[in-house]
Protein backbone atom coordinates (compact mmCIF):
# COMPACT_ATOMS: atom_id res chain seq x y z
CA UNK A 1 0.00 0.00 0.00
CA UNK A 2 1.43 3.37 -0.97
CA UNK A 3 0.46 6.45 0.97
CA UNK A 4 0.59 9.63 -1.05
CA UNK A 5 -0.02 13.25 -0.34
CA UNK A 6 -2.44 15.42 -2.26
CA UNK A 7 0.41 17.41 -3.85
CA UNK A 8 2.29 15.85 -6.79
CA UNK A 9 5.73 14.42 -5.96
CA UNK A 10 8.82 14.45 -8.14
CA UNK A 11 10.13 10.90 -7.62
CA UNK A 12 8.01 7.86 -6.84
CA UNK A 13 9.21 5.88 -3.82
CA UNK A 14 11.04 8.83 -2.26
CA UNK A 15 9.75 11.04 0.48
CA UNK A 16 6.66 12.77 -0.70
CA UNK A 17 6.15 16.48 -0.67
CA UNK A 18 4.76 16.22 2.84
CA UNK A 19 7.24 13.61 4.09
CA UNK A 20 5.01 10.54 3.67
CA UNK A 21 6.83 7.25 3.07
CA UNK A 22 5.29 4.20 1.41
CA UNK A 23 4.03 1.62 3.88
CA UNK A 24 6.15 -1.53 4.22
CA UNK A 25 4.20 -4.49 2.93
CA UNK A 26 6.83 -6.98 4.09
CA UNK A 27 6.64 -6.14 7.78
CA UNK A 28 5.69 -9.26 9.78
CA UNK A 29 2.48 -9.27 11.73
CA UNK A 30 3.38 -9.80 15.36
CA UNK A 31 1.03 -11.83 17.45
CA UNK A 32 1.66 -12.78 21.06
CA UNK A 33 2.77 -16.35 21.79
CA UNK A 34 0.13 -18.97 22.41
CA UNK A 35 0.33 -20.43 25.85
CA UNK A 36 -0.47 -23.97 26.73
CA UNK A 37 -1.12 -23.46 30.40
CA UNK A 38 -1.75 -26.53 32.52
CA UNK A 39 -5.13 -26.43 34.18
CA UNK A 40 -4.70 -27.45 37.77
CA UNK A 41 -7.59 -29.19 39.54
CA UNK A 42 -9.99 -26.77 41.15
CA UNK A 43 -11.50 -28.46 44.20
CA UNK A 44 -15.02 -27.51 45.15
CA UNK A 45 -15.62 -27.40 48.87
CA UNK A 46 -19.17 -27.07 50.12
CA UNK A 47 -19.84 -23.88 52.10
CA UNK A 48 -20.19 -24.14 55.88
CA UNK A 49 -23.68 -24.84 57.18
CA UNK A 50 -25.78 -21.70 57.40
CA UNK A 51 -23.71 -19.74 54.88
CA UNK A 52 -25.72 -18.03 52.18
CA UNK A 53 -24.68 -18.57 48.58
CA UNK A 54 -24.67 -15.54 46.27
CA UNK A 55 -27.47 -15.47 43.75
CA UNK A 56 -26.42 -16.97 40.44
CA UNK A 57 -23.94 -19.33 42.07
CA UNK A 58 -26.62 -21.47 43.68
CA UNK A 59 -26.30 -23.95 40.80
CA UNK A 60 -22.92 -24.89 42.30
CA UNK A 61 -24.41 -25.40 45.73
CA UNK A 62 -23.77 -28.67 47.49
CA UNK A 63 -27.07 -30.26 48.37
CA UNK A 64 -26.91 -31.87 51.78
CA UNK A 65 -30.21 -33.65 51.19
CA UNK A 66 -28.83 -35.76 48.33
CA UNK A 67 -27.07 -38.95 49.22
CA UNK A 68 -23.55 -39.29 47.90
CA UNK A 69 -24.52 -42.51 46.11
CA UNK A 70 -26.75 -40.49 43.77
CA UNK A 71 -24.63 -39.15 40.90
CA UNK A 72 -24.69 -35.47 40.01
CA UNK A 73 -26.36 -34.18 36.85
CA UNK A 74 -23.20 -32.23 36.02
CA UNK A 75 -19.75 -33.54 35.16
CA UNK A 76 -17.59 -33.58 38.28
CA UNK A 77 -14.35 -34.19 36.36
CA UNK A 78 -15.15 -31.49 33.81
CA UNK A 79 -15.66 -29.04 36.66
CA UNK A 80 -12.60 -30.14 38.63
CA UNK A 81 -10.09 -30.39 35.78
CA UNK A 82 -11.40 -28.07 33.06
CA UNK A 83 -13.35 -25.58 35.16
CA UNK A 84 -16.50 -26.15 33.08
CA UNK A 85 -19.95 -26.80 34.52
CA UNK A 86 -21.44 -29.05 31.85
CA UNK A 87 -24.48 -31.34 31.93
CA UNK A 88 -24.02 -35.10 31.76
CA UNK A 89 -25.02 -36.78 28.52
CA UNK A 90 -24.52 -40.01 26.64
CA UNK A 91 -21.52 -39.91 24.32
CA UNK A 92 -20.01 -42.47 21.96
CA UNK A 93 -16.46 -43.60 21.28
CA UNK A 94 -14.81 -46.58 19.63
CA UNK A 95 -15.06 -48.47 22.95
CA UNK A 96 -18.82 -47.94 23.21
CA UNK A 97 -21.30 -45.52 24.78
CA UNK A 98 -20.41 -43.75 28.00
CA UNK A 99 -21.64 -40.96 30.26
CA UNK A 100 -19.63 -37.78 29.95
CA UNK A 101 -19.66 -34.11 29.08
CA UNK A 102 -19.08 -32.10 25.95
CA UNK A 103 -19.06 -28.47 24.92
CA UNK A 104 -19.23 -26.84 21.50
CA UNK A 105 -15.63 -27.90 20.76
CA UNK A 106 -16.23 -31.60 21.46
CA UNK A 107 -15.97 -34.08 24.35
CA UNK A 108 -14.58 -32.69 27.61
CA UNK A 109 -14.68 -35.57 30.09
CA UNK A 110 -15.63 -39.20 30.49
CA UNK A 111 -17.45 -39.40 33.82
CA UNK A 112 -18.59 -43.04 33.93
CA UNK A 113 -16.38 -46.01 34.71
CA UNK A 114 -18.58 -48.16 32.51
CA UNK A 115 -19.00 -48.43 28.78
CA UNK A 116 -22.47 -49.41 27.57
CA UNK A 117 -23.32 -51.56 24.55
CA UNK A 118 -26.13 -49.32 23.33
CA UNK A 119 -27.21 -45.71 23.58
CA UNK A 120 -30.53 -46.78 25.14
CA UNK A 121 -28.74 -48.68 27.92
CA UNK A 122 -26.50 -45.69 28.63
CA UNK A 123 -29.49 -43.30 28.71
CA UNK A 124 -31.34 -45.59 31.10
CA UNK A 125 -28.28 -45.76 33.38
CA UNK A 126 -27.99 -41.96 33.31
CA UNK A 127 -31.68 -41.47 34.16
CA UNK A 128 -31.76 -44.09 36.94
CA UNK A 129 -28.32 -43.51 38.40
CA UNK A 130 -27.07 -46.95 37.37
CA UNK A 131 -23.50 -45.89 36.71
CA UNK A 132 -20.41 -45.10 38.80
CA UNK A 133 -18.43 -41.87 38.77
CA UNK A 134 -14.77 -42.02 37.77
CA UNK A 135 -12.51 -40.59 40.46
CA UNK A 136 -9.69 -39.50 38.10
CA UNK A 137 -9.65 -38.57 34.42
- Residue 83 lies inside a defined structural domain of this protein: yes
How many separate domains does the chain show?
Answer: 1
- Residue 52 lies inside a defined structural domain of this protein: no
- Residue 78 lies inside a defined structural domain of this protein: yes
Predicted local confidence at residue 132, as pLDDT: 95
- Residue 25 lies inside a defined structural domain of this protein: no
Whole-model pTM? 0.50
Question: How confident is the model over 19-25, as a mean pLDDT?
Answer: 55
Q: Which domain holds residue 77?
A: 70-128
Predicted local confidence at residue 63, as pLDDT: 44
- Residue 8 lies inside a defined structural domain of this protein: no
Predicted local confidence at residue 108, as pLDDT: 95
- Residue 35 lies inside a defined structural domain of this protein: no
The terminus-to-terminus CA distance of the chain in angstroms comes to 53
CA distance linking residue 39 with residue 80, whole number of Å = 9
pLDDT at 40 over 90: no
- Residue 20 lies inside a defined structural domain of this protein: no
Predicted local confidence at residue 136, as pLDDT: 86
Amino acid sequence: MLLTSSAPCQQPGSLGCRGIRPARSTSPLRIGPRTSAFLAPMPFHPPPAGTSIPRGLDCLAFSRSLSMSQPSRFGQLALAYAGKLLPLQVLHSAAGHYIGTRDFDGPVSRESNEYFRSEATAKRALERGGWSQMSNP
